[in-house]
Amino acid sequence: MEPSYDSEKVAEIHRHLHSHLPPEPALRVKALESLLVEKGLVDPAALDAWIEAYTEEIGPKRGAMVVARAWTDPDFRARLLDDAGAAVAEMGFAGQASGHLKAVENTDTTHNLVVCTLCSCYPFAILGMAPAWYKANEYRARAVRDPRGVLSEFGVTVGEGVAVQVWDSTAELRYMVIPQRPAGTEKFDQSALAALVTRNSMIGTDDLKGTA
């Protein structure tokens, strides 16, 4: 017998499943986690380890450390801009989504913005989990069509004399932005500098001027 598809039946199943989940996103996630643990599909200890790794170790702290080193080490900065994957591997941060990585640098004349118009390709091994807005259709469409307008909504004002370069990530090539180093940080060490770097600044939707 050939399988059949009943859209009304599928919709009814969908409504039934969601009626048993709380409306708040955090509670829904917790409920799903509990179900998976109860059925033996997820080890809670392993889940906790992954959450800690992505929030505390993998990102965006790794990316911030890469940026801080680029700000203080001209030779590393040159290697990063030439071959970001290899430069990141030097720091022991090589991983999935970092092998096909290109670093682009903000300057007094160019501001870089990263988007993935087809899906949400993102160097999570360096920047951590992608923010929800990065995956949103509105951002993916408008970042290309009206990058200055999008930046202004993030509180970033780009001067008329500054070009905005939009980079479209793919599965084969992903990008990270090296933001400009804030003024007044000449005496900061790499650790202090890394603390200034935000995830959004490495996507291009944050301006670190005045953060020192």
Q: What angle do CA 34, 131, 168 make, to 5 degrees?
A: 135
Distance CA 200, CA 62 (A): 14
**Active-site entry in 4, 98, 121, 152:** 121
**Active-site entry in 4, 34, 116, 191:** 116
Distance CA 85, CA 156 (A): 28
Q: Has 201 been annotated as catalytic?
A: no
- Burial pattern 125-144, b for ≥16 Cβ within 10 A else e, equals bbbbebbeebeeeebbeebe
**Active-site entry in 120, 152, 191, 201:** 120
Q: Has 7 been annotated as catalytic?
A: no
Q: Please state, in angstroms and as integers, the Cα–Cα distance from residue 46 to each residue in 37, 51, 126, following that order.
A: 11, 9, 21
**Active-site entry in 119, 169, 191, 201:** 119
Q: Has 121 been annotated as catalytic?
A: yes
By annotation, the residues acting in catalysis are 116, 119-121
